[in-house]
Amino acid sequence: MDFSISQIILLIFIGILAGTINVIAGGGSFLTLPALIFVGVPPLIANASNRVAILMQNIVGIRRYHVLGVRPKIEYPLLFILVIPSAIAGAWLSTLFSNQEFKTILAIIMLFAAFMTLLKTGKKVTSNIPTNRLIIYGGYILIGLYGGFIQAGVGFLILMVMALDGHNLIEGNAIKLIIAVVFTAVSIIVFTLNHQINWMAGFLLGLGNIGGAFIGTHFVVKSKQATLEKLVQIAIIIMAFILIVRR
């Protein structure tokens, strides 16, 4: 499909905002998925095409964290063994729904995510208490399954698992991008085989996401994020209601 100049500008702008949010914590796809749907991309195609932008963003984000000196250790064998199969399953599962069903699922997840973030007390998650490794392994599987299915909001889940595994917020964000690259690449393969990717839409979002990755990595290392989190909560709630009402 062809996009108008205004739609191209909108996708790139939303991409910048989402890329910044994704690198800081997560939830940027709660903006990009509705944006893709609003410009006429069917929900299932939007879900798949969004992964192209996410992959572009995270590759740049990983490099930026490396340049800024954030180089946390990660268990790559564990990552590949647990995340890849579950991501394949999640991506395949998403292809079984209709566009209307998927749009409803997205709206419900958006409202739930916004509600959960509003309940935050502002306290940092501590990880001084050792966590059973089986819980961590289960977390990796859930990350792959959910990330493959819908992506949106998976960053929050990854950060929670990283905190339980003893990583601080900055390390957790850096590891989050590495994990996301793995399950996103796998998901793209699944969606490509099902002919569900609009490459132009994904590329336009990706251009913005790359710019957002530069902004977000600097923000994580140098600044606080409370104000941005509040703005994201408001945007998520508004877009979720629009998705529910719009047919």
- N- to C-terminal Cα distance for the chain? 20
Beta-strand runs (E) in 38-110: none
Residue scoring higher pLDDT (246 or 86): 86
pLDDT score recorded for residue 142? 92
pLDDT above 70 for 75: yes
pLDDT above 50 for 122: no
> Which tokens belong to 72?
């946390």
> Which tokens belong to 64?
């930026």
Q: What angle do CA 38, 183, 119 make, to 5 degrees?
A: 65
80-103 pLDDT, tens per residue? 899 999 999 999 999 998 888 888
**121 confidence band (pLDDT: 50, 70, 90):** very low
DSSP calls for 168-185: -HHHHHHHHHHHHHHHHH
SS3 label, residue 38? helix
| b/e 110-135 (16+ beta carbons within 10 angstroms → b) | bbebbeebeeeeeeeeeeeeeeeeee
Sorted by sequence, the CB contacts under 8 Å of residue 48 that are 6+ apart come out as 187, 188, 191, 194, 196, 197, 198
pLDDT score recorded for residue 72? 76
pLDDT above 50 for 231: yes
Domain span holding position 145: 5-245
pTM, two decimals, is 0.79
pLDDT above 80 for 23: no
Count: domains in the chain: 1
pLDDT score recorded for residue 123? 46
